Amino acid sequence: MEGLFQPMHLFFILLIVLIIFGPGKLPDLGRGLGKGIREFKDALRGGMADAQKPDVRVSISPAGVTLAVNSTQQFGASASGAPNTAVRWSVNGITGGDRTVGTISESGLYTAPGAVPSPNAVTVTATSQADTSESASASVTITPYA
């Protein structure tokens, strides 16, 4: 027995449908049955994809820091739950940052900008490369030279 239904089973189901609903309703019932089967298969595929998705967690340290302009801070991040534990660094949503909000290297070394940005707080984020929906962030407050 290869599938759930053998051709003989399908024949009897079709015969019962014809007897109950009449031949005029058969095309509508077929379309409805086909749509239902497609939706069921799509739901199964989506469930399988979710089941195979790794449970990735990202953490960052330190969680917050205050820096003077042009100074640096080494951030650390860890991603767990997937074979690929690499993270991508960004500042205020800009991968690698820029001169206005500060830059961050691939190793997590943040360099504050040469002038205090407005607003003076920026967000450093580590995003999992295995699952880009998972990230952790730290707040950096930039102050002028002391």
Sign of CA dihedral 91, 97, 98, 99: positive
Beta bridge partners of 124: 91, 138
- pTM of this prediction? 0.64
Please give the span between the terminal C-alpha atoms of the chain, in angstroms, as a whole number: 80
Banded pLDDT at 70 (limits 50, 70, 90): very high
pLDDT at 26: 62
pLDDT at 79: 92
pLDDT at 51: 56
pLDDT at 146: 62
Query: Phi and psi for 52 in degrees, rounded to 5?
Result: -85, -15
13-22, 57-66, 134-143, range with the lowest pLDDT: 13-22
Query: What is the set of domains in the chain, with CATH numbers?
Result: 7-52 (no CATH), 57-143 (2.60.40.10)
Q: Which residue has the higher pLDDT, 35 or 137?
A: 137
Q: Which residue has the higher pLDDT, 27 or 42?
A: 42
The distance from CA 85 to its chain's CA centroid, rounded to whole angstroms, is 15
Q: Reduced to 3 states, what is the DSSP secondary structure of residue 66?
A: strand
pLDDT at 5: 65
pLDDT at 96: 97
Question: Is the pLDDT at 69 greater than 90, yes or no?
Answer: yes
